Chain A
């Protein structure tokens, strides 16, 4: 019954993804914990956090697709929201270490003792509470996106100008977080986490739970994004991508729509970051690097922009490929990665999902043609007109 409801609301492929994600969330941890290592279906312990990491990346790509694919805002700074979410979670995990740090200081994290800080800076207050950290995971990226977007959209900064200032944003944050004086551990970032909510981070069961949480969160955020894009608001958003001025002339408050999507997207990115940190065990300013944000754009494009499904597959594929190639061909893997990006742009302009739909349509058209015994042109898919850079 639930599936029927899902189907009617979200369509076939989206429902399939949600169900698949939920299934993975249960099956993979089970296969890890319950099956003995000899079993061919056993999922090795080291693989689970790795896949969990991919799922977090997928969530980040999903967040980007909401603004890029549906509002035409190409953010080159989404990594910043991801990292901020990660830092919020990292600060909680840091406070959880308590007196088990190397200097055994009950309050101050090791790096502060190390640099002779005398007391905890004010912005670290409250992070010993999980609920507070969770709140911050949403609020910090959300507030930053809101303020940034409020100014930018109101001033009608669009196109590449917007892209470049989002890049400036993440670059400025990168430099700021590198500073040891900021109180976030400088280049070393936050690391050496012990436990989350009292469960050891090194335990297989905690990892399985984190993986399941990532899969479920991805399913939920996907459902949320899907619901939004299917709603009336979603229609307006899509209209924005095609002709922003016309939407404005019709009477919609374009900047409000954009602001909503941008803020929501930043919050999703924050959640992704928060789930990412306990699974990889470190958060450092490198996550703010503009190159990372560009990579997110690439996952989205590889999978298929403006499809919500595509970015998820794109993130999984590119990162899986990266993991494989960096070990299998450590000397030349960048060639492969570079070639992949070029090939995708040239031959798969709508990404992998676009290719699949195209094939499906062609197949359907051929079937229809054979059936009706007459020539019909394949239905033209409404082209998403990418934001012009002038």
Chain B
């Protein structure tokens, strides 16, 4: 009793969908596929498109060197469109349909959280290149960005030692990364003897554009006779109006320095940096790092994008490190088989762009130097401080009571991302 026309339509629609989604898997097997999962549209495109291009460059470069295990690498680019459920869908597509051997992607924490179950279920490999709040260690994910102890704490140390800062404004966008970082920092500062009334914490929504009130509050807070600094975990888009307001209200870096964890060369490219000279940022890499490897990388990047004004930034370096680690691990394992690559990755050491070697730790975080830079008039950073050695990423912060007792070690026999040293058990089921 079906209406044949209607039924045909429904059937053909789903058939069309099925074929389009499946067709990807039919292509040749001689290549090694690398998935790139970065938003190319929507709010995050601003930051993530660059990383897609960086990955394409790295893959092209590797192919020019003869590929991997005698095969060519083939990038598979998809657009999750800054839509978090779509990230999970696209991750599934990359792993199940395109059968990629590794995925490089994600920027926001929520997008990472969204794809985690997918990588766990389909047993994929994800390289996550952005600084984040920590409190996570997953078998299938390799965190090449900074954990809080690789960025926030050294930055605060610098301000304590060099600027003798006594009052602190912790300003951030209201999401999990600033919340956690500020929590860790507040605990750290109190341990250093800073009083409660000398810490001001402020949260703003995403894309906040009217900073008049907050900047004037900061100014009032900072003119109480004690040296004051702002620790900013303000997210991407909101930074431009924030810095513009700082400049306009006449807050110079010599009065109240702002140290930011989410502002890099790419963000500064959209700003007139003249009024911002002297404000700080803490990263593991700056474009201004003076090493041969970095000069070469920058030249390649400008060449690849055919734009001499393009800048490099920290998450790009993280992808550079992550990609080379993966290549090395595949060579070590002799295949792209996921489990053996995951095992091979721990302990792999590759050169980073700041003149040292970064190593993949058993907790799937890497070792990195921490650099403090001051903003220059040309939109670059001048490195004013650098940690003496490399800092290993700590997945579970020692300054949060519930996570202090957790450790992560993915090597046998522990093989656990959140081992509780008190109860001697692997918490959860991850």
A and B touch in the complex (CB under 8 A): yes
B21 touching A47, Cβ below 8 Å: yes
- The interface bits of chain B over 208-221 (1 if a CB of A lies within 8 angstroms of the residue's CB, else 0) are 00000000000000
Contacts of B89 in A (CB 8 A): 50, 53, 280, 323
Contacts of B108 in A (CB 8 A): 187
Contact of B176 among A105, A114, A193, A286 (CB under 8 A): A114
A333 to chain B, nearest CB (A): 7
Q: Which of the 9-residue segments A8-16, A131-139, A366-374 touches chain B?
A: A8-16
B18 touching A191, Cβ below 8 Å: no
A189 touches B (CB below 8 Å): yes
Could you tell me which residues of chain A, from 279 to 309, have a CB within 8 Å of some CB in chain B? 280-282, 284, 286
B430 to chain A, nearest CB (A): 7
Contacts of B175 in A (CB 8 A): 178, 180, 186-188
Given known A-B contacts A101-B428, A102-B427, A326-B81, A192 and B113 have beta carbons under 8 A apart: yes
A44 touches B (CB below 8 Å): yes
Contacts of A179 in B (CB 8 A): 174
Contact of B13 among A3, A114, A201, A317 (CB under 8 A): A317
Contact of B96 among A3, A45, A113, A281 (CB under 8 A): A45
B88 touches A (CB below 8 Å): yes
B428 touching A104, Cβ below 8 Å: yes
CA of A29 to CA of B51, assembled, Å: 38
A327 touching B24, Cβ below 8 Å: yes
Residue from A17, A105, A187, A333 having most chain B Cβ neighbours under 10 A = A187
CA of A113 to CA of B135, assembled, Å: 11
A38 touches B (CB below 8 Å): no
CA of A316 to CA of B9, assembled, Å: 12
B7 touching A20, Cβ below 8 Å: yes
Given known A-B contacts A113-B402, A179-B174, A188-B175, A100 and B3 have beta carbons under 8 A apart: no
Given known A-B contacts A114-B176, A326-B86, A330-B40, A12 and B206 have beta carbons under 8 A apart: no
B43 to chain A, nearest CB (A): 10
A35 to chain B, nearest CB (A): 13
CA of A189 to CA of B113, assembled, Å: 9
Contact of B83 among A115, A191, A286 (CB under 8 A): A286
B386 touches A (CB below 8 Å): no
Contacts of B79 in A (CB 8 A): 326-327, 330-331, 333
Contact of A103 among B40, B90, B118, B427 (CB under 8 A): B427
B100 to chain A, nearest CB (A): 12
Given known A-B contacts A100-B428, A202-B121, A330 and B3 have beta carbons under 8 A apart: no
CA of A15 to CA of B423, assembled, Å: 59
Contact of A16 among B2, B114, B179, B403 (CB under 8 A): B2
A326 to chain B, nearest CB (A): 4
A102 touching B430, Cβ below 8 Å: yes
Could you tell me which residues of chain A, from 195 to 226, have a CB within 8 Å of some CB in chain B? 201-202
CA of A245 to CA of B42, assembled, Å: 42
A281 to chain B, nearest CB (A): 5
B18 touching A102, Cβ below 8 Å: no
Could you tell me which residues of chain B, from 148 to 193, have a CB within 8 Å of some CB in chain A? 174-176, 179-180, 183
A42 to chain B, nearest CB (A): 10
CA of A222 to CA of B399, assembled, Å: 53
B110 touches A (CB below 8 Å): yes
B228 to chain A, nearest CB (A): 25
Contact of B40 among A12, A101, A331 (CB under 8 A): A331
CA of A382 to CA of B110, assembled, Å: 48
Given known A-B contacts A50-B89, A111-B176, A180-B175, A16 and B113 have beta carbons under 8 A apart: no
- The interface bits of chain B over 67-108 (1 if a CB of A lies within 8 angstroms of the residue's CB, else 0) are 000000000011111011110111011001100000000001
A178 touching B206, Cβ below 8 Å: yes
Contacts of B77 in A (CB 8 A): 330
CA of A111 to CA of B89, assembled, Å: 23
Contacts of B430 in A (CB 8 A): 102
Contact of B6 among A17, A53, A281 (CB under 8 A): A17
A324 touches B (CB below 8 Å): yes
CA of A189 to CA of B87, assembled, Å: 14
Contact of A186 among B80, B81, B179 (CB under 8 A): B179
B428 touching A323, Cβ below 8 Å: no
Given known A-B contacts A20-B7, A187-B110, A281-B117, A180 and B83 have beta carbons under 8 A apart: no
CA of A330 to CA of B423, assembled, Å: 48
CA of A193 to CA of B121, assembled, Å: 12
Contacts of B206 in A (CB 8 A): 178, 187
Contact of B10 among A20, A105, A202 (CB under 8 A): A20
Contacts of B425 in A (CB 8 A): 104
B179 touching A180, Cβ below 8 Å: yes
CA of A3 to CA of B2, assembled, Å: 9
Contacts of A78 in B (CB 8 A): none
CA of A100 to CA of B88, assembled, Å: 21
Smallest Cβ-Cβ distance to B423: which chain A residue: A104
CA of A102 to CA of B93, assembled, Å: 27
Smallest Cβ-Cβ distance to A98: which chain B residue: B428
A19 touching B2, Cβ below 8 Å: yes
Smallest Cβ-Cβ distance to A276: which chain B residue: B85
B90 touching A280, Cβ below 8 Å: no
Smallest Cβ-Cβ distance to B86: which chain A residue: A326
Known: A178-B174, A180-B179, A280-B85. 6 other contacts (CB 8 A): A104-B418, A114-B180, A188-B175, A192-B113, A202-B117, A333-B79
Could you list 30 A-B pairs, sorted by A, with CB under 8 Å? A15-B3, A17-B10, A20-B2, A44-B22, A44-B97, A46-B93, A47-B18, A50-B21, A99-B428, A103-B418, A104-B420, A104-B428, A111-B176, A115-B179, A115-B180, A116-B183, A116-B400, A175-B205, A186-B174, A187-B174, A188-B110, A188-B176, A191-B113, A281-B118, A282-B84, A313-B13, A317-B13, A326-B78, A330-B77, A331-B79
The 6 tightest CB contacts between A and B, nearest first, are A104-B427, A330-B79, A16-B3, A187-B175, A46-B96, A280-B85
